Structure 1
């Protein structure tokens, strides 16, 4: 367990993750605490982008969090401890190619989110049993995989914004493109599709020439740009839920005029998570 105080305004602290496997590790968490904070204040865990710029991401979320009265926690998945997309975006489920070996479940990186929330909750004396989860771009890829592969019992609502490529709820496609080959079954698909999740898309995130747009074959099959891919994926999952006989828990929201990295996205995400 970590020992720290959550100061008003912007700050940071070191979270000692004693539950990490194969051994404990520490990670820095960038925080924001509103002036109106009390024991019932809403807590949001936010996942930064591929740039790993956790402090800057916290600063972008802070203005709306102050207006809404929300605590924001941005854990820093630094590239030394979590190198590459396989260790961050994809959750450390498999080793990177050419190995591709599936790691033991307790080595996956998703559990740090729950442990961080419960550590902060205990430290500040919060009455909150659940938290909101937000991610943009690479952070959204982490959010979606976290919801799909884990119990995630402490998350009451999640927002995944402007994903570049979507993992398919498909057990015939190997992870990370699908959900196959890592010990999951149809119960996991059903649970994933019933999550309380908002897919948030900027309607100006529509540049097919964006140099950071994923371009591997599976990504290109989903559409020419992020907006098209998000719309396609939401429709695909709507039809999949219907075929499985479950009620889709997801909602689709469009941020008018918002691009890929855009304050409009961050503000709308914070508002959605305000309930």
Structure 2
């Protein structure tokens, strides 16, 4: 899943070299800004209308369904016997990946990687979506399921610029840390503690990409290798 720049072709080209070495097929759906014009339509999955409306849209209007339809369409067209796929997103794409895992069955995903996310949705039913998981018909079973998903939080240890362009700076984002690396570390600790308090086994892992910045070939190569198992 590409970033906020919506540069799907460039994102594919960054992922392709390592994926080809691993024998993987890369699919990068493009969420065109004309059809998906805001963070609400792409990063947040089109679940609610943008403020001040904030109305929750019908589930069949959410953006997440594209992923499963694309996988099954390509699977049929190439005659593949695979019944599952790996999912990778960087930056805005990581926000999409995390919300996809939290709000959907995601039964065909065998492993997901969310890299260098700028702001994390909290597994909190008391906080309304998109900042939390409340107000959209979810319950504790959905929260527990989300925490048990097979997920890697991948962070570049050089993605630590508090003045980085496109770094989310609304209040909820700033409360998570001054930059993306700090926010990722904070979120993983928070969810580890939450899973323990709920008595569930956290399905997530944390990986650090040494020397990697925000948009960095090291991140894409490590992401492809993680999904290759």
Name the TM tier (shorter chain).
over 0.9
User: 1-side partners of 2:167 and 2:178: how far apart?
Assistant: 9
Q: Select the structure that is richer in strand.
A: 1
List runs of 5+ in structure 2 lacking aligned partners: none
> SS at the partner of 1:118?
helix
User: 2-side partners of 1:159 and 1:226: how far apart?
Assistant: 15
Greater RCO, CA 8 A, separation 6+: 2
Deviations 1:196-217 (A, max 9, x none): 0000000000001112211000
> SS at the partner of 2:73?
helix
List runs of 5+ in structure 1 lacking aligned partners: 1-46
User: 1-side partners of 2:75 and 2:20: how far apart?
Assistant: 19
User: 2-side partners of 1:136 and 1:144: how far apart?
Assistant: 11
The Cα shift of 1:81 comes to 1.1
Q: Select the structure that is richer in helix.
A: 2
User: 1-side partners of 2:94 and 2:174: how far apart?
Assistant: 18
The Cα shift of 1:95 comes to 0.3
Kindly tell me the number of residue pairs found equivalent between the two proteins: 229
Deviations 1:221-258 (A, max 9, x none): 00010000000000000000001100000000000000
The Cα shift of 1:76 comes to 0.4
Deviations 1:140-187 (A, max 9, x none): 000000000000000000000000000000000000000000000000
Matches within 5 A, 1:75-224: 75-224=29-178
User: 2-side partners of 1:154 and 1:119: how far apart?
Assistant: 13
Where does residue 24 of structure 1 map in the other structure? Answer: none
Deviations 1:105-163 (A, max 9, x none): 11111011001100100110001000000000000000000000000000000000000
Runs of 4+ deviating beyond 3 Å: none
Where does residue 209 of structure 2 map in the other structure? Answer: 255
The Cα shift of 1:266 comes to 0.1
* Higher Rg of the two aligned structures: 1
> SS at the partner of 1:85?
coil
User: 2-side partners of 1:210 and 1:263: how far apart?
Assistant: 18
- TM-score computed with the length of structure 1 as normaliser: 0.83
